[in-house]
Structure 1
Amino acid sequence: MKPFLKLKFKKVKSLVAFLIIVFSLNANAQEFFTLSGKVTDGNNPLPGASVLIKGTSKGVTSDFDGNFKLNLKKGVYTLVVSIISQPKEVTVNLTKDTFISINMSDSFVSLDEVLVSAVRVKPSSPVTHNNISKEELEKRNLGQDIPMLLNYLPSVTSSSDAGAGIGYTYIRVRGSDASRINVTLNGIPYNDTESQGTFWVNLGDFTSSTQSMQLQRGVGTSTNGSGAFGASLNLLTDAISENAYGEISSAFGSYNTQKHTVKFSTGKINDHIEIAGRFSKIDSDGYIDRAFSDLKSYFLQGSYVDDNTLIKAITFGNKEKTYQAWYGLTAEELKEDRKQNPYTYENETDNYWQDHYQLHWNEKLNHNWSTNLGLNYTKGKGYFEQYKEGSAVSKYNNIVEATGTDWYGSPATDLIVRRWLDNDFYVLNFNANYKNEAYEVISGISASNYTGDHFGEVIWAKQFAENANIRDRYYFSDATKNEFSIYSKASFKLNENLSGLVDLQGRFVNYKTDGLTSDRNTLDIDKSYSFFNPKFGLTYKINNTNSIYTSYARANREPNRDDFKNGSDVQNEVLNDFELGWRLKNEKVVLNTNVYYMLYKNQLIQTGGLNDVGEYLRENVEDSYRFGLEVDANIVLSNKLSMRPNITISSNKIKNFILERDDTSKNIGTTNIAFSPNIIAGNYLNYQPVESLTINFLSKFVGEQYLSNTDTEASKLDSYFTSDLNLTYEIKPKSTFKSIVLSALVNNIFNKEYVDRGYTYLDYWSTPGTSFEVQGYYPQATRNFLVGATFKF
């Protein structure tokens, strides 16, 4: 080849290489495109909607105007869009910058959400809240109760008697116990009417039938049932399934824990009717010796749906048997063997049956109007069986005769009693909803009637009286509680950047009870209360990524049955709740920050002591407050890695606490409220290396807290830090099953020995008495595991 031809050929090769490089660079420059869109309900923008790229941890939240934006490579993507609901999937072929509109109103699931619309708030509302989706719950749903699954939310702590999260479990929010947390199921009040507490042991495996939850901290919006003095938690049960399905799941773990669940749905028959159900069985021996749980539950629903109507008939229930672990361990017992159970009677158990029947009818009348009717009947019945050694015969209505004396020298004997509850609960809810582009108004009523019998039987004694029979009652009292509330809530736009909320509620309560307590003391109560609970809030949109909000809410609460038993002069409580928050939402970070000031009058605080069935005693304090800062975030670190940290820093004080101890009264000044740690922090680290595998590492820190209200060093409970590891792996077979999901959960992975709850009588006695121990502790489980598999077909 001639030199000039060689040179020419080289130039051609160089030119071709250059063009290839330029083309490649140009192609790479065009590889990323902007996918933007707007999420609406058909009329109005939906701020706070989750837009997730399926199979990754990458996603965003729609801004105040419902807009979102993602930068993605060229390709086909499936967006999973949800807003407190069953997700909606949208497929996009991204070949250029693209804008899409996502209308969530065309889904029948939106009708399901109307069942809870009266008690829930929207993402842009000036109310501090968290939403929990079904997908999030499923990852750790291996048998533990709902309080344990909510443990990593801001300001939340949880505990259990048996130590492993199954059986009798408890939740606190901002230091407030479960009797001050309003709980609703599809808008129907669930709190026990007389004690105002929530007994999660009667909702075994209810997570498997839950579509979503919303936890509102503070007073929140007006809700049905008992007043929210720390938080409100509302649960929405399973939405109607478009397609038929079946699920079989089983889980096994430490302490002989087993969970077995069967679920099914017919899907929409003839596009209108669905029948679905669940049956579950959970067993666990508990971390504490013999603190077993035996839970059987069911959930059945029949639904009719069309474009404008949703009718749901739902029944669910539970039968539970749990062994006594209500009184914890003394300090000496804790040091000797933290798993021991001092009770030795083989049937020292709690036995309770509870069945719920709900009917919901939601009607969309036109473009603006809709109505919702909810009816409920709950039947509860059960007993607590207890062996009593050397108990004074004067407590048993001459049913038994003395065979000895107690430590006071009074005639006494050994016997076994059963203390019964037998109650009926009726609820009617109705609300009407009007909305247009400028505002939305929800107005409604809720009425309930509760009747309950309390009585005790002697089922065995060393010596019965001559004319006595087994199961003779030694005390009886009946109770009736009627409640009526009326409310109206308006959310509206004042201008393009400013929106408001006005929420007014009147609540009217009458409680009557007559008869004897278990100690055969007369209990004759007839009290009526009329409460007015106003709430106001503003949200200001600074820009598309930042907004601030402020709110004021007032709440009132009546005393519960135990409060009346402990003193006839007990007062109702009043709470004024002030909140100020900032929300940041962009492609990488969702940040929620708020400051709260909860000012109480006559707050019924827990003294640290227990009554005769293991429930905390309470007393009024005239002036107290909770002041705190809450921060929680969702941070996308990469397409595969994200984290959700949260922290609460608070001060929880009683002003001018009057201590009545050793038969004397003394003002000891400002003290800390019992069971109220100043620091609560958590983190949720999510890693998804491939679409089918998710690894979550969860951590929780709870600071020091006091078991009494005296700031006594002896009643201080140490801080603790625990971590859990959760793995889920999904297999999609080519036949038989649609999906097989394998799950594993290692609780307390670093094997910490800790106590998260206890009791004390130091508000009454300055030093331990000679007749009984004044301190008790509830040890929680060290490292333990649960593994499970769910077969979906």
Structure 2
Amino acid sequence: MNLPGAALLACLPVGAAWAQGPVSGTVTDGRTQQGLPGAIILLDGAPVGATDASGAFQVPAVAAGAHELRITFVGYDAATRSVQGQPGAQQLSLALQPGRVLIGEALVTAQRANDRTGTAYTNVSREDLAKRNFGQDLPYLLDQTPSVVVTSDAGAGVGYTDIRIRGTSNTGINMTINGVPLNDAESRGSFLVNVPDLASSVSSLQIQRGVGTSQNGGAAFGASINISTLDNRREAYAETQNSYGSFSTWKNTVQFGSGLVGKYFTFDGRLSRVASDGYMNRASSDLKSYYLAAGYQQKNTLLKFITFSGREKTYQAWNGVPEFALTGSQTLKQQYVDNFELSEAEAERALREGRRFSYYTYDNQTDNYQQNHYQLHLAQGLGANWNLAATAHLTRGFGYYESYRAGRKFVNYGLPNVVVGAQSITRTDLVDRKWLDNYFYGGTFALNYQPRANDRLQATVGGAWNRFLNDHYGEIIWAQYASSGSIRQRYYFNDATKTDYNAYARATWQLLPRLGVYGDAQVRHIRYNIDGVEHEPNSPRAVKGVVDVSTHVDYTFFNPKAGVTFALAEGQQLYASYAIGQREPVRADFTDRPAGDVGAKPEKLQDFEGGYRASWPDVPFLFGLRQAVRLEANYFRMDYRNQLVATGQLNDVGTALRTNVARSYRTGVELSGRVALFADRLSVSANGTLSRNRILNYRNDSLPGDVARTTTISYSPSFVGATTLEGQPLKGLRLALLGKAVSEQYLDNTASAERRLAAYKVVDFRVRYSFRPSFVKEIELGLLVNNVLNRRYAANGYTYAYPGADGRLQSFNWYFPQAPRNFLASVGVKF
């Protein structure tokens, strides 16, 4: 971030903000003194905000006179304070005591890390997400958190997006919604395009880096993202958010809630539509979703039913842009043509379209998918110190890729040639659909011991049983020459069944006033079966265009974890942890293996984390001013055995191909901090990760003459940094500059300069202005300008390298360019 921009924001007038006097403070758990994120702040009975991830809150201005400030949090007795409107800032500290009603968050607490678990984590509140939510996908709302790199196939953050944490793709990031696994059971990816605008329903979110705590679903090999939508809003509300921006991007959201009805019931809902043409040509997205929840709450019982659904139609953009379309090189273009990467006509079109080139031209070359989620949650108090959380869930998914295929052989679709007179026609143009039709269902539970009188010991015993059924098949819906086929001619079929169950026990024990220990042990068993054939006509193993992909594997993993914490002083802590994570290969590791490959091996990770945390809520500064400071430094060492690393290549539906490497590691330091001045009217937050990501004794057998050596893991930048400068110069007006820097990344594991993503730095600008007219509770206007400096960069790509027509090794790189300067403007109304 440039210094002139920071200086300009710092010099904006701030005097008007004190005209009526702000009130700020912290809300903590009266037992543990830990901050309570998401507590509701009411002024004279009207909601005016909520606490952030650390439990801090701020009421920008309180008019002159006496007022009642009330803080509520489900599961705790409300706290009330009298405040006086006055010119100066006021600081409050409130400790809430557990009440008779269970916390909705108890349903996900079993998977959350805290200051006792000795792990690296970041809490993100509803308000943090709302600041950035102009319609882009969830990864873009998390872009400023440590070690995160995001990318978008369509280039503008809508549609297919991806997130990497510590260089690990989302196949190694465990995602849960209310404790229910979101990752696809076979591919292990979390396709957030299937749950558009989920962020609008999120009440809190936690990112754990490294192995973290025991999770439902697969193991976390780089991080986990635990999402909660379980809060109960006791006051009735209705609001709408509408955004419009570059590339005809629209977001329309309506949210509503009944508040507490008849003392025991709550009802909440959301309807959303997000649509965009995308920055890339023919990369449109049309996304729709809903969220509905009904809750019952009485004394020590909480019962909540949640259903949400997403339907997406996205034009396929997973082929990316060939390198010569970015550089304009005619020589490089000819290499792509000579090696049959593109036809002459396609290559010429790529030069004309440049960095917005889209390989596909068929008007319905689309991905169509719908995913329906159903969750039933129960939290039940069992005496003074125990509570039980249990969840039953069902996810129903179905959809297809539709593709135009030119000049395909009949034999590769299981059809005979067409004979017309003396002529035998062996090829045809056709349109096919590759279908997925699946069910994912199961249950989770957690028995929690949380004594109120003595919190030295906290313990959880939990587990889950989940089953996944998935049919994979292909249909021909049109052909120039039909042969003996019919409409929806099925040309391959395989079904998959995966059963996954786990049990874990976890406890924290405060041995001494300053010293605490943490232990966590999980046993996980997986049984995975595939029966049938897959359409892979280019595979050496193919017979009439199909390959037998039958797979039958069983795995049992034991994953222990341990940690220690030591309080140096008030607000300062040292911590360390050691954890083992193991996980099974994904579907593509079995089905896309080359001839002669016996199959992928399971991976094992040993993760050491150690660090320092400090928080000073009120520190003297210049000229008698006060400031709040938060710092964290974390060291990590992640040692892998048989890690599955991306080769840089993709299969025909955009899935990254991977290979086992015997030994590899990631090690580095994560630094983060935040300074807030003038009762949070001006703040600076920053984080940076310096890392070393290496494979030992790596040799790429597909590259002739490649020798074994230590090399860099693909898609693993050595530096990732983010900076946010935010200020409130006037009442209701907040301005922010957001900077992001990512060092170069390699597209494969050879660390070749010919196959890499260049380093990039981008800056975004955000402004939000809210006011309260007499006819509605609040109106908020917002503007987000992405890539203010108009940088031209690519955040993702893939590569193939093989001998060219002249016999020399040549690289064929494809990139996913991100949009230049673009904007999103929003209008929000709360009724």
Is TM (by shorter chain) over 0.5? yes
The offset of 1:243, in angstroms, is 1.4
Matches of 1:191 and 1:205, distance apart in 2: 17
2:263 to 253, 258, 271: 271
The offset of 1:445, in angstroms, is 1.4
Amino acid at match of 2:432: V
Contact map agreement 2:440 2:469 (CA 8 A) in 1:
yes
Amino acid at match of 1:341: S
1:649 aligned onto 2:690: yes
Judging changes above 3 Å, is the alpha-carbon distance between structure 1 residues 42 and 591 closer, same or farther for their aligned structure 2 residues?
Answer: closer
The offset of 1:476, in angstroms, is 0.2
Contact map agreement 2:314 2:366 (CA 8 A) in 1:
yes
Could you say which residue in structure 2 is the equivalent of 1:396?
A: 413
1:461-480 alignment runs, 5 A limit: 461-466=479-484, 468-480=485-497
1:416 aligned onto 2:431: yes
Contact map agreement 1:260 1:281 (CA 8 A) in 2:
yes
Could you say which residue in structure 2 is the equivalent of 1:778?
A: 816
Deviations 1:622-643 (A, max 9, x none): 0000001000111114332111
The offset of 1:49, in angstroms, is 6.5
Judging changes above 3 Å, is the alpha-carbon distance between structure 1 residues 750 and 634 closer, same or farther for their aligned structure 2 residues?
Answer: same
Could you say which residue in structure 2 is the equivalent of 1:734?
A: 774
1:528 aligned onto 2:521: no
The offset of 1:448, in angstroms, is 0.2
Judging changes above 3 Å, is the alpha-carbon distance between structure 1 residues 327 and 439 closer, same or farther for their aligned structure 2 residues?
Answer: same
Deviations 1:469-525 (A, max 9, x none): 111100000000000100011011010000111010000000000100122100111
Judging changes above 3 Å, is the alpha-carbon distance between structure 1 residues 84 and 412 closer, same or farther for their aligned structure 2 residues?
Answer: farther
1:477-626 alignment runs, 5 A limit: 477-519=494-536, 520-567=546-593, 568-587=598-617, 588-626=628-666
Judging changes above 3 Å, is the alpha-carbon distance between structure 1 residues 498 and 78 closer, same or farther for their aligned structure 2 residues?
Answer: farther
Could you say which residue in structure 2 is the equivalent of 1:26?
A: none
Amino acid at match of 1:323: Y
Amino acid at match of 1:790: G
Deviations 1:251-292 (A, max 9, x none): 111101111111111111111101111111111000001200
Matches of 1:758 and 1:691, distance apart in 2: 44
1:155-554 alignment runs, 5 A limit: 155-335=147-327, 336=351, 337-398=354-415, 401=418, 411-436=426-451, 437-466=455-484, 468-519=485-536, 520-554=546-580
Matches of 1:75 and 1:247, distance apart in 2: 30
Amino acid at match of 2:204: S
Q: Which runs of 5+ in 1 are unaligned?
A: 1-34, 67-71, 404-408
Contact map agreement 1:181 1:228 (CA 8 A) in 2:
yes
Matches of 2:77 and 2:139, distance apart in 1: 24
Could you say which residue in structure 2 is the equivalent of 1:22?
A: none
Matches of 1:317 and 1:771, distance apart in 2: 48
Contact map agreement 1:455 1:475 (CA 8 A) in 2:
yes
Q: Which runs of 5+ in 2 are unaligned?
A: 1-22, 57-61, 328-350, 537-545, 618-627
Judging changes above 3 Å, is the alpha-carbon distance between structure 1 residues 50 and 104 closer, same or farther for their aligned structure 2 residues?
Answer: farther
Could you say which residue in structure 1 is the equivalent of 2:783?
A: 744
Judging changes above 3 Å, is the alpha-carbon distance between structure 1 residues 399 and 162 closer, same or farther for their aligned structure 2 residues?
Answer: farther
Amino acid at match of 1:416: V
Amino acid at match of 1:307: K
Matches of 1:777 and 1:719, distance apart in 2: 14
Matches of 2:362 and 2:562, distance apart in 1: 54
Judging changes above 3 Å, is the alpha-carbon distance between structure 1 residues 399 and 561 closer, same or farther for their aligned structure 2 residues?
Answer: farther
The offset of 1:586, in angstroms, is 0.5
Secondary structure, in 3 states, of the residue corresponding to 2:221?
coil
1:41-120 alignment runs, 5 A limit: 41-46=29-34, 91-93=81-83, 101-103=94-96, 105-106=98-99, 111-120=103-112
1:604-753 alignment runs, 5 A limit: 604-639=644-679, 640-662=681-703, 664=704, 666-735=706-775, 737-753=776-792
Judging changes above 3 Å, is the alpha-carbon distance between structure 1 residues 666 and 534 closer, same or farther for their aligned structure 2 residues?
Answer: same
Contact map agreement 1:348 1:384 (CA 8 A) in 2:
yes
Matches of 2:722 and 2:745, distance apart in 1: 17
Secondary structure, in 3 states, of the residue corresponding to 2:820?
coil
Residue range with higher mean Cα deviation, 361-370 or 49-58: 49-58
The offset of 1:717, in angstroms, is 1.4
Residue range with higher mean Cα deviation, 711-720 or 236-245: 236-245
Amino acid at match of 1:617: L
Could you say which residue in structure 2 is the equivalent of 1:6?
A: none
Could you say which residue in structure 1 is the equivalent of 2:13?
A: none
Matches of 1:522 and 1:59, distance apart in 2: 55
Amino acid at match of 1:754: Y
Where does structure 1 differ by over 6 angstroms across 4 or more consecutive aligned residues?
Answer: 35-38, 48-63, 74-89, 94-99, 766-773
Matches of 2:426 and 2:649, distance apart in 1: 27
TM-score (norm: length of structure 1): 0.88
Matches of 2:100 and 2:734, distance apart in 1: 28
Contact map agreement 1:49 1:81 (CA 8 A) in 2:
no
Secondary structure, in 3 states, of the residue corresponding to 2:110?
coil
Amino acid at match of 2:400: Y
Matches of 1:44 and 1:636, distance apart in 2: 25
The offset of 1:433, in angstroms, is 0.4
The offset of 1:83, in angstroms, is 9.9
Contact map agreement 1:261 1:280 (CA 8 A) in 2:
yes
Root-mean-square deviation over aligned CA pairs? 3.3
Matches of 2:728 and 2:128, distance apart in 1: 14
1:29-44 alignment runs, 5 A limit: 40-44=28-32
Matches of 2:580 and 2:508, distance apart in 1: 18
Deviations 1:750-769 (A, max 9, x none): 1111111100123x658999
Matches of 2:718 and 2:225, distance apart in 1: 22
Could you say which residue in structure 2 is the equivalent of 1:754?
A: 793
Amino acid at match of 1:749: V
Matches of 1:87 and 1:294, distance apart in 2: 44
Amino acid at match of 1:273: F
TM-score (norm: length of structure 2): 0.84
Deviations 1:537-571 (A, max 9, x none): 00100110321000001000100110001334210
The offset of 1:534, in angstroms, is 0.4
Matches of 1:86 and 1:615, distance apart in 2: 46
Deviations 1:194-219 (A, max 9, x none): 00001011011111111110000011
Contact map agreement 1:51 1:62 (CA 8 A) in 2:
no
The offset of 1:780, in angstroms, is 0.3
Judging changes above 3 Å, is the alpha-carbon distance between structure 1 residues 521 and 491 closer, same or farther for their aligned structure 2 residues?
Answer: same
Judging changes above 3 Å, is the alpha-carbon distance between structure 1 residues 706 and 768 closer, same or farther for their aligned structure 2 residues?
Answer: farther
Contact map agreement 1:51 1:79 (CA 8 A) in 2:
no
The offset of 1:45, in angstroms, is 2.7
The offset of 1:348, in angstroms, is 0.4
Amino acid at match of 2:604: V
Contact map agreement 1:61 1:585 (CA 8 A) in 2:
no
Residue identity (%): 40
Secondary structure, in 3 states, of the residue corresponding to 1:208?
helix
Matches of 1:276 and 1:97, distance apart in 2: 34
Judging changes above 3 Å, is the alpha-carbon distance between structure 1 residues 732 and 197 closer, same or farther for their aligned structure 2 residues?
Answer: same
For the pair shown, the structure with the greater C-alpha radius of gyration is 1
Matches of 1:288 and 1:97, distance apart in 2: 50
Aligned residues: 744
Contact map agreement 2:77 2:98 (CA 8 A) in 1:
no
The offset of 1:153, in angstroms, is 0.7
1:792 aligned onto 2:830: yes
Matches of 1:87 and 1:119, distance apart in 2: 24
The offset of 1:105, in angstroms, is 2.8
Secondary structure, in 3 states, of the residue corresponding to 2:535?
coil
